[in-house]
Amino acid sequence: MDAVLFDRDGTLVVDVPYNGDPAAVTPMPGAREAVARLRRAGVRVGVVSNQSGIGRGILTHDDVGAVNARVDELVGPLEVWEYCPHEPRAACDCRKPLPGLVLRACRRLGVEPRHTVVVGDIGTDVEAAAAAGCAAILIPTPITRRDEVAGAPVVASDLDEAVDIVLAARLAPLSAGGLT
């Protein structure tokens, strides 16, 4: 296991819809410790996030950058940030569940997708991981649908358990979509 790519909203930080205010960033419980544990173990860490507020005209790239910088201060540092600025109907290849963000983050980190885990809170995070050839861990939140939980290859109760799974998997082979 060489890298973990986290979803931002609902996974590393409390989801505030279309957040452009760094002061509104609140880390999820255990987020800073989870990132630190991975870094101590030599696992590269980054973020892959849909930010459709840009495409909808609600946010600017500067707004997203300021929020991401605040996340880095509170949780990080994170080595790579990739986000999709497009609205859901846009014809892009980066919006999760498509693999573009994940593949770009892997290239920037210099890691193979098959040695990477995507950790997120909804089905599109899991689908993006599978489409890119990565493993996936779902951490359900109140917005996670039951069918997404049922369809996830690996489910963790929180970030601490997700990191436990990742670190244990460093000793075991990976399969696309989940950890084996």
Q: Which of 9, 63, 121, 125 is catalytic?
A: 9
Residue count (the chain): 180
What are 161's two structure tokens? 């358990």
CB neighbours of residue 142 within 10 Å = 7
Q: Which residues contact 104 (CB under 8 A, 6 or more apart)?
A: 82, 94
Is residue 129 within 8 A of residue 118, CB to CB? The reply is yes
93 tagged catalytic: no
Round to whole Å and give the CA distance between 42 and 33: 14
Q: At what angle do helices 31-40 and 159-169 cross, to 10 degrees?
A: 10
Catalytic residue among 7, 63, 121, 125: 7
Q: Is 72 a catalytic residue?
A: no
Cite the active site residues: 7, 9
